[in-house]
Structure 1
Amino acid sequence: MSLLGATALVAVALDQWVKWLCTEHLTEGRPVKVLGGLIYLSLLRNSGAAFSFGSAHTWIFPVVTLIVIGWIAWMATRLRSIPWAVSLGLVLGGAFGNLGDRLFRSPGPFQGHVVDMISLFEPYGQHFAVFNIADSCLTVGVALAVLLELTGRQRDGSKAVKKAT
């Protein structure tokens, strides 16, 4: 479905543009306070997942991401639902955004560190993980998928029928 691809493309483009802006204009160790301290832009390079989980096993994240991308590509051939297309497009865009970092950033392929920059309430993730646009797309896409599942929305565009007990 073209909406899935377009959503993914916009997510990747926005993620990479923001990462480029931050790597060009922010300095590690010098956070920028935004909205009176509600948000801080703090340039970090993360070898792990959220909260630096799995930092010693960086290679596993691109492998899992490639599996997810493959599943979404397979699912896209059967997709007939606009909300599901948006949901999976956000997940796909977020996956590609962080995969690009894992493959092309230092220290090298399958070990690259993801550029993170958004911190809530404190500059270095004291209250919540420091994240990026790709992470936000992944989170919103997965949350939408859970909501669609809970409300019985099918990927073919139909609504699940409740069975009488």
Structure 2
Amino acid sequence: MRATGIVRKIDNLGRVVIPKEIRTEMKIDNGNTLEIYVDQNDTVILKKYSPVRELSNLEGYIDTLLETTGCNVMISDTDKIIDTSSDLQEYNERLVGNKVKEAMKSRKTINLDNAQDEDLCANFRSKEDKLGSVLISPIIKQGDILGAVILSSQDKNLGDFEAKASEVTAKVISKKLGL
């Protein structure tokens, strides 16, 4: 842990304000959920909470989508790619890019032709374009944006069937999340 030198008082309702500099640095936005830990030394730790990351068996969803659509699959939370099909392992734990954020913010599935790596992952350049056509479907539960299901294929343009499959998977994942 590093010291910030910032001191805040707790108000009469038990609230404390996280300074803007820290929220910006940690990419904590209004509406984000934080998990609270207390360690052995009575230190309080706040950690961004990702319900999608807590979900077990993401591989099952990925394998089912891969078999059904023939597309490569990625599943993200609001910040990072959490899990992928085997052909896209280099994307694991990469920050999500602008197009993924755009799809989540719009709350609609978006379809990209000839997607670039940087569309899906911030600060990532691969030696070989592996994405081609891409669909991004946001995972939403009770109005909260929790992540995205992403399909990609170099061999074909993705259409209504693939869009419906990714949207259904996003809805199934949202139903499995306990909030």
TM score, norm. by length of structure 1:
0.26
TM score, norm. by length of structure 2:
0.24
Identify the structure with bigger relative contact order (alpha carbons < 8 Å, sequence gap 6+): 1
> Which protein is richer in helix relative to its size?
1
> Which protein is richer in strand relative to its size?
2
